[in-house]
Structure 1
Amino acid sequence: MVTIRLTNSKTRRKEEFTPLREGQVSMYVCGPTVYDRAHIGNARPVVVFDTLFRLLRHVYGADAVTYARNFTDVDDKINARAAETGRPIRDITDETIGWYHEDMDALGALRPTHEPRATEYIGAMIAMIGGLIQGGHAYEASGHVLFRVRSYAEYGALSGRSVDDMIAGARVEVAPYKEDPMDFVLWKPSEAGVPGWDSPWGFGRPGWHIECSAMSYELLGESFDIHGGGLDLQFPHHENEIAQSCCAHPHGSFAKVWMHNEMLQVEGKKMSKSLGNFFTVRDLLDQGYPGEVIRLVYLGTHYKKPMDWTVEKAREAEGTLRKWRGLVKGVAPSQPDQRVIDVISDDLNTAGAIAVLHDLAREGDLAGLKASAAMLGLLEDHMGAWSEAGVDLTPWAERLAALRQAAMESKNFAPADAMKAQLVAAGVEVRMSKSGCELVPGPGFDAAKLEALD
């Protein structure tokens, strides 16, 4: 059996992974709030935990791994979008979930075993909240139900901060009905025109944190193996999940292993609409970046390190994938190389696994390359339509080189410049040097446009 080692955010160390139930693995990852397109930062945990999902399926068997990732479809941002557009909330959430599936499918992400919608588990949330009140861990005030943070002695263990430090260093909602500034909302009233459900505390809707606790319990039980998400969720979302889940089900352990991926930047800067560097996954796809290329850029950085999306990285990734796809075209996959399995099993060292793929290509083990790449969600047949691997740009490179040589003698560069412009318009990167002319298909490469050069 392969030994998998994962960094547990709660213990702050790398640990050997052993399932709670022998031969069965359970994983929960926080999913999107469905009011708009997923941006490229949202996609990073999708790729990270999809890679872990693939590894777990390889090691334990596809039927032995249960992976749940939720959709938050009740939220004030969704309500605001409905008010702005005049559209029914269900229409907005259904459409957004459809977009999410399209975009994540384009990145080669497998669909999780379960994709629960929060609105389908309101009854489970109400039941959990009722149990917390009965146990003295929550209280009703002014139509709200709040979790009593100081009733859970271990609060702050995940993020490594005391409650008093959190109050001093973080902005918390100050409300007159709170017993303590750190207490957080489990249930809140809904005014006219806002979605709500009948409950023992009046017509209202759940707070954000309770949904993941209720859904993970219903789907995976009071104890499960792995809980994942972006580092931005560690506090308060995951801290609050632990508190309410452990108080609601004191005989369980909730999540055994916690994993958090670091954040994403664009060209070395924090992604921000004000900086003009904010991109959705669909933006990149529409700009001509194949989903497989986006995925390889993500995999090139270890999930525990900040990731920088750059045009240069995307160009390099596209060149690598075109080369590999050209090599494995028509090749039947064998078994993944053990070196790739071992490297990925060491805390999802995807960058190390990519290095092994380069070794396999150099060694000529093309069947192993194809099978090993599939472990990372790469080089799978259904993902390769973009690559146009059979296009040979050599004739155009030779023609451009000849035109350039003629231009050097005649000092008339117009013909060479015109051909270069046509190549660029076809999505070809033109690299001129003393040694000659190299043409590389780039983002948005369109082989049909090369016909104009014939």
Structure 2
Amino acid sequence: MAIRLYDSRAQALQEFVALEPGKVGMYVCGPTVQSSPHIGHLRSALAYDLWRRWFTYRGYDVTFVRNVTDIDDKVLANGSANDPWWAVAYRVELEFTAGYNALGILAPTYEPRATASIPGMQELIATLIEKGHAYVAEDGTGDVFFDVKSWAAYGELTNQKPDDMADSADAATRGKRDPRDFALWKGTKAGEPASASWNSPWGPGRPGWHVECSAMARRYLGSSFDIHGGGLDLRFPHHENELAQSTAAGDAFAQHWVHNGLVNIDGQKMSKSLGNSIYAAEFLAAARPIVIRYYLASAHYRSTIDYHAGSLVEAESALDRIQGFLERSGRVLAGQGTSGGAVAIPDAFATAMDDDLGVPQALGVVHETVRAGNAALDDGDTATAARARAEVIAMTSVLGINPEAPEWTSGEGGAADAVLGTLVDRLIAERESARASKDFATADKVRDTLAGAGITLEDGPEGTRWTL
């Protein structure tokens, strides 16, 4: 089955056909590093990490570009004489990177900063002026605007007519021919730091937000590439304006547009004005990162997630079922000298993922396989259990939620778990020895000692299992 994705421009599911066989070029709008990341940023980054992982599993060589917008009105507004805008931007960028790393989100192939791509932006603006789709303001400010009326296809991404659109708010209306025209270049204004200004043919200034992504996508993926992604809130005006200026300049630009859904908090839209934003640092402190990854991935990427107090508890419980089976099957099969070997993922899982990244349905296959594997262990059917274990590992590895993968078991936490496991296994062995010699007082003492430390023992046909 071919991979299908929902194209926002066509507003329909479409079969994915790569521009270059065997390769995928993806551009995803990364953060504007004005303030700390929140749960919505993590959700968006994870959605495209899952897309990337699935394309890779299907045999594509993926070039994944995610930009950093480090020059913008809001970034400048958050700077000060003692804490320059560029220092704020870099500090916030590191917060985003830490959040991505915590969730096991793969590093992009390229992660360009807007401030490192100014020449390409100026080249694109010059082309638009030459083609009659942009103009320099006549008020002497040095501003350059895209001429919306000059491009008949404007509005095609969001299926809007220009006459029905609101005025562009990314720059003052003075100097504009039409209030809906948007800024390509912003001439330096009084009071702005000199470090936020670059020389240009139209005077010193800085780029508009929309032109930044068009120029960076062109530089790293060429004039035409496969997929452009981002949050649903970016469709208009940001992505609409990207599409207009790039195609007006002569680029085919993105063949497919993909947008992920947003995050609500207890049924309300998350926003600073409502004071209900959940920032990445506090969110990541609420549960194990692998649990948070499971939670954010468990809803379809295009749906709205409604976060509530019990959300992570439910995700923890679901992940524990997977982890419990892997631990149990690992113990039993290790003793039997078989682990199932490498197998392909089940067809039902692949079908779900091929159908517009149907992770919820794919997770259903994971849990069904876990149930079948546990039933096989109960029946002593080690061959079936081994195959189920291998399939669960394969599926969770694709999704980045394999509890046994190095990213979740290595490092300080993984080392501590390994030490704890060694000590607990030693005590369990002592308990088994005591029980075998009918020294039940010692056996009970070991159990009580472990219970006092928060460790529960569960005796079963395949041995004793412990959990925290």
TM over 0.5: yes
Aligned AA for 1:376? Answer: L
Give the residue type in structure 1 aligned to 2:405: D
Q: Provide the C-alpha distance between the structure 1 equivalents of 2:245 and 2:314, rounded to a whole number of angstroms.
A: 46
> Which of residues 342, 355, 360 is equivalent to 2:364?
355
Structure 1 residue runs of 5 or longer lacking an equivalent are 393-421, 429-439, 442-446, 448-454
- Tell me the secondary structure at the aligned position of residue 167 of structure 1: coil
Aligned to 1:319: 317
Q: Is 1:79 matched up with 2:76? A: yes
Following the alignment from structure 1 to structure 2, what is the Cα–Cα distance between the partners of residues 315 and 92?
35
- Structure 1 CA distance for aligned equivalents of residues 48 and 55 of structure 2: 10
Q: Which residue in the other structure is 1:410 paired with? A: none
How far apart are residue 277 of structure 1 and its match?
A: 2.6
On the 8 A contact 1:73/1:118 being kept in 2, the answer is yes
* Structure 2 residue aligned with 1:243: 244
Give the Cα separation in 1 of the matches to 2:407 and 2:325.
15
Counterpart of 2:348 in structure 1 is 339
> In structure 2, the residue corresponding to 1:355 is in which secondary structure?
helix
Q: 1:104 aligned to 92, 100, 111, which one?
A: 100
Secondary structure of 2:264 counterpart: strand
Work out the CA distance in 1 between the residues paired with 2:129 and 2:65: 27
Q: Per-residue deviation at 1:39? A: 0.4
> 1:282 offset after TM fit, Å?
1.0
Question: 1:292 touches 1:383 (CA, 8 Å); kept in 2?
Answer: no
The question of whether the paired residues in 1 share the 8 Å contact of 2:8 and 2:157 is answered with: yes
* 3-state secondary structure, aligned to 2:145: strand
Work out the CA distance in 1 between the residues paired with 2:72 and 2:368. 48
Alpha-carbon separation, structure 1, partners of 2:216 and 2:52: 19
Shift of 1:152: 1.1
Structure 1 equivalent of residue 288 of structure 2:
290
Q: Does 1:368 align with 2:391?
A: yes
The change in CA–CA distance for 1:382 and 1:266 in structure 2 (over 3 A counts) is farther
Cα offset, 1:275, TM superposition:
4.2
Match of 1:177 in 2: 175
**Are the structure 2 counterparts of residues 273 and 215 from structure 1 closer, same or farther at C-alpha, using a change threshold of 3 Å?**
closer
CA distance in 2, matches of 1:274, 1:237: 22
1:230 aligns with 2:231: yes
In 2: Cα distance, 1:112 partner to 1:320 partner: 29
- Partners of 2:172 and 2:407 in 1: CA distance: 50
Corresponding residue number in structure 2 for 1:382: 406
Deviation for aligned residue 1:157:
0.9
Name the structure 1 match of 2:34.
35
How many angstroms apart in 1 are the aligned matches of 2:261 and 2:162?
Answer: 24
C-alpha displacement of 1:338: 2.8
How far residue 355 of structure 1 moved from its aligned partner, in angstroms, is: 0.5
String of CA shifts for 1:408-443, please: whole Å, max 9, x gaps: xxxxxxxxxxxxxx99xx999xxxxxxxxxxx99xx
Partner amino acid, structure 2, of 1:326: G
Q: For the residues of structure 1 that align with 2:172 and 2:97, how far apart are their CA atoms?
A: 38
Cα separation, 2, equivalents of 1:155 and 1:204: 26
How far off its partner does 1:161 sit? 0.8
Per-residue deviation at 1:363?
A: 1.6
- SS of equivalent to 1:7: strand
Q: Secondary structure at the match of 1:311?
A: coil
Q: Which amino acid aligns with 1:12?
A: Q
Q: Distance in 1 between matches of 2:454 and 2:183?
A: 52
The Cα shift of 1:174 comes to 5.7
Amino acid at match of 2:30: G
* 1:9-20 alignment, distance < 5 Å: 9-20=8-19
| 8 A contact 1:43–1:104 mirrored in 2 | yes
* Superposition deviation, residue 171 in structure 1: 6.5
Query: Against the structure 1 CA distance between its residues 179 and 42, is the aligned structure 2 distance closer, same or farther, given a 3 Å change threshold?
Result: same
Q: Does 1:136 align with 2:118?
A: no
* Aligned positions of 1:187-226 closer than 5 A: 187-191=185-189, 192-194=192-194, 195-226=196-227
Deviation for aligned residue 1:119: 0.7
Residues 111 and 172 (structure 1 numbering): CA distance in 2 closer, same or farther, change over 3 Å? Answer: closer
Cα deviation for residue 283 of structure 1 reads 1.0
Give the drift of 1:273. 4.0
Alignment match, 2:52: 53
Within 2, Cα distance between the matches of 1:151 and 1:206?
Answer: 21
- Residue 280 of structure 1: CA displacement? 1.1
User: By how many angstroms is 1:14 displaced?
Assistant: 0.3
CA displacement 1:339-383 (0-9 Å, x = unmatched): 212211100111101111101101210111011011111115234
User: Which residue number corresponds to residue 436 of structure 1?
Assistant: none
| SS at 2:186 equivalent | strand
Matching residue's letter, 2:92: T
TM-aligned CA distance change 1:112 to 1:172, over 3 Å: closer
- TM-score where L is the length of structure 2: 0.79
Quote the Cα distance in structure 2 between the aligned partners of 1:427 and 1:296.
25
Question: What letter corresponds to residue 367 of structure 1 in structure 2?
Answer: A
- Which of the numbers 118, 121, 124 marks the counterpart of 2:114? 118
Q: Report the CA distance between 1:173 and its aligned residue.
A: 5.8
Q: Secondary structure at the match of 2:229?
A: strand
Where does residue 404 of structure 1 map in the other structure? none
Give the match for residue 44 of structure 1: 43
- State the shift of 1:86 in Å: 1.8
Does the Cα contact within 8 Å between 1:139 and 1:145 map onto a contact in 2?
yes
What TM-score, normalized to structure 1? 0.81
Residue 166 (str. 1) matches residue 165 (str. 2): yes
> Could you tell me how far apart the structure 2 residues matched to 1:427 and 1:346 are?
43
C-alpha displacement at 1:177, in angstroms?
Answer: 1.1
- 8 A contact 2:170–2:182 mirrored in 1: no
Equivalent residues of 1:357, 1:372 under 8 A apart: yes
In 2: Cα distance, 1:337 partner to 1:113 partner: 29
The one-letter amino acid of 2:107's match is R
Q: Is the 8 A contact 1:31 1:69 kept in 2?
A: yes
Structure 1 vs Structure 2 CA RMSD? 2.7
Q: Which residue of 2 aligns with 1:94?
A: 90
Q: How far did 1:276 drift?
A: 4.3
SS at 1:146's partner residue? strand
Deviations 1:61-102 (A, max 9, x none): 4xx11110100011122212222x722333322222222111
Any conservation in 2 of the 1:26–1:226 contact (CA below 8 Å)? yes
AA at the equivalent of 2:121: M
User: How many aligned residue pairs are there?
Assistant: 395
